[in-house]
Amino acid sequence: MRTIIIVTVNRSPAGDIDYFLNNLAETLNHTYNNNVDIILCGDFNVNYLNDNQDKQALNSLLTSYSLYSNSIIDFPTRVYNNSQTMIDNFFMNKFKNENCLVFALINGLSNHDAQVHSLFNITTPYDTNEFYSYRKISKHSLNEFQASLSYEP
């Protein structure tokens, strides 16, 4: 049986890239070893549709942990007005996880499209202590969420 660790990130568009990369490196140092597969995903706010310094720096860091994005996400993940960017991404060890399928899910909840990532040939142990968490989405909960966000800088 293999262990898969899923790490999710969200870097603010105004967030310092060096600070982000240093913290990401620290996280990966604590997580990475040859006996686990890491799937790193989230909103990196680094546009992978074109070459740029942030993309090169992120790729350099992730390559040292055998994490790659090539051909995982190959479509725009954020479409806003007349612009398209690919700032949400998956990074994984492509040599250990070649059998996967990723597609966009346009859900209308955000200007970011969701990405659905299916891994094949994965077996999970049966666990009777399952915990489910869900969020009820209603007009009231959306208004409450927007009010909470208005207090954030």
Is the distance from CB of 103 to CB of 115 less than 8 angstroms?
yes
Q: What is the DSSP letter of 142?
A: H
Instruction: Return the residue matching tokens 């350099």.
Output: 60
Is the Cα torsion angle 59, 8, 42, 34 positive or negative in sign? positive
Domain hosting 22: range is 3-150
**Domains: count for the chain:** 1
Average pLDDT over residues 92-101: 66
pLDDT exceeds 80 at position 86: no
Q: What is the pLDDT of residue 133?
A: 72
- Give the pLDDT confidence of 17-68 residue by residue, as tens digits: 999 999 999 999 998 888 888 888 888 888 888 889 999 999 999 999 988 8
Looking at residue 36, which CATH number applies to its domain?
3.60.10.10
Neighbouring-strand partners of residue 41: 8, 90
**pTM, full prediction:** 0.68
**Tokens representing residue 96 in the block:** 């250990």
- Give the pLDDT confidence of 135-144 residue by residue, as tens digits: 788 899 889 8
